[in-house]
Structure formats: structure tokens, C-alpha cells
Structure 1
């Protein structure tokens, strides 16, 4: 079985896989429910930021050292416009619970931001968040293209038993998750106005 690094190298080396274009048989498939940039109505859905957002997070990609006992997860994707153009230098901010479902509200563990590269790619090395009481497993994110408005949303895990009971769960915000030898690899492409 491949590792998270294998998936990340493949992701970083691959060109953008746009909806409607022929893909090689070994190319990763897009989730059918994930918004695509081919339809103006399919922008990434907004969701509440929740009670635990902290301003002025540090710029970082590696959250894994913040929770050494957590199951490793690589999150990756693109930021694209409605016209399927990659957005470089878009801000991606991530925060989430640790493996026990707790948020760090006094510091910046499992909190940080980065900027997309010239091809609109982003990725974080982190962990699978634990269950927070009353919610399904999720990540919180903010995405902002240069000069654009801030998209605040959440990303979810497919097959989670609590998805159906979570009052704000949205199936268009499901990650495409693959198991690896050393954790999980999750992908989501943000479509922004």
C-alpha cells in the first residue's frame, strides 16, 4: 500500500484534473458530490466557523508534531475559480480538534495557515481529528483568494456514523479519503468566486 508521501508526490506532480476532461485510468477520480468549477451554482458551500476560531494563526504546513499520538493525515487540494483557473497565493487557514476531540484555545496547536502555490495547490500534514461532542468528525477552514472575500467552511469524512445526525453536515463538503500505510490522504478542491 502506498504512503501519504507517495500520494502527495503524485498530487504535486500531476496537472489539474478538471471536470469533463479525459483522465488517465490511474488518475484519481473526483467525488461526484464535490462542487466543480463548471457550474456557477457550485461554489464551495459556506459553513459556520464555530466557537473555536483564533485569529493570527502561524504560517505552517506541518501540524503533526502538535499531536504526536494522532493518526496521521495529509490534506491536499486546489483553490480554483469558477472558470477552473488555479488561484495562486490564496490563503488557506486550518484548525481542528486533537485526537481526543479537544481544541487548543490557549495556543496554536493544530492551527495555522499557508498560501497556495502558483498552480493553486495546497496541503497540510496533520492528524485525523477526534470527535467533538455533538458533532461528526470535521476540519474547519477559511479560504481567501487575493483581494476576495473569505470563504469559511468545514470538511467532513465519508462513512462517518455521525454524519447523518450532525445538524450542519453537508455532503458536498466530503473529503476524498484514501488509506495509506502510514495514515490517510484526503483531497478537496475549493471553488471560490
Structure 2
């Protein structure tokens, strides 16, 4: 960790407003992107962003300077988004189905010959039902295994696989519709 970041963290531990502002400015682009990936719209993302930054500043004294500070901060934001979605989510019963899994969004796009901008893809991801979006983001963007997702979201591993498969199917349909509009 570089010395400047360490000093900035120490300022935040002391609740120094200027240090908090600097850290906010430094991390905002990455952390806001996480909120946009998990939430349905900008308003929900804004709420998570604000709440998660409050949590970050409340818990910053718990950071032990081991590992990436950005990674530590990202975990707070992902966990806050998931907590808010969990509160909204009703219990869902899903059918189990096997699905071919993709390791990341680039594989997903290339396997399906998708020519779509990141903004367009993000918009489609935001439109997914909450449970689909949570599993999709955890698997594709955060690199969680289905076992880890199942544990984190308190569901069966098969449910995680099924939700990912359904999320990808919905995305394929939406992207196909968009591509067809572009061709027409």
C-alpha cells in the first residue's frame, strides 16, 4: 500500500472531513459502478452508495492494512447492496436446471457474438429481477463460486445455478431484441 493512501486512511480513522472527502473522491468511480451493477436503477444505486460509504467510514478503523484497501471497500459495498436486495426479496421457489456457466462477461458476450456497449449491457443487467441480478453479479463480476453464492444468499447451490441460467437467458433475449432493433 502506498504511503499516501495509508495517511488518507489514518485521517479517516480520526474522522477528518478533508481526508474523508479525498477518499470519497478517490474511490467513488469504482464503488458507484458496483452499486449500479447490483441495483435496478440510479436512484437505488445512489441510496446504496450513500449507505455503504457511511458504513465504510464507520468501520474504517477495522481495516488492518493487510490486502487491498479497495478490495476491502468493495466488499462493504457488495454486502450493503445484497443486504438491501435481501430485504426487498420475497422467498422464491425456482426449478432446478443445469446450465453452461461462463467465467466472466467477456466470455458471455463472445460466446453469443454480442456487439453491445457496456452501458447497454449494464442497463439490461439492472432490469433483471433482484434475485437474478444478485446471482449474476456475484458469479460474473465478483467471481464467486455457486457454493459461495448459495452460502451468502442462504439458498441451495442448485438455486444459484438455476438463477444464473435464467438471468443469462433473460439477458440473451433482451440483447437479441436490441440487436434486432439495430439491424431493422
> Could you say which TM-score interval applies, normalised by the shorter chain?
under 0.3
Query: Which structure: greater helix fraction?
Result: 2
Pick the structure with greater CA Rg: 2
Higher strand share: 1
TM-score of the two chains, using structure 2 as the length reference: 0.25
TM-score (norm 1): 0.25
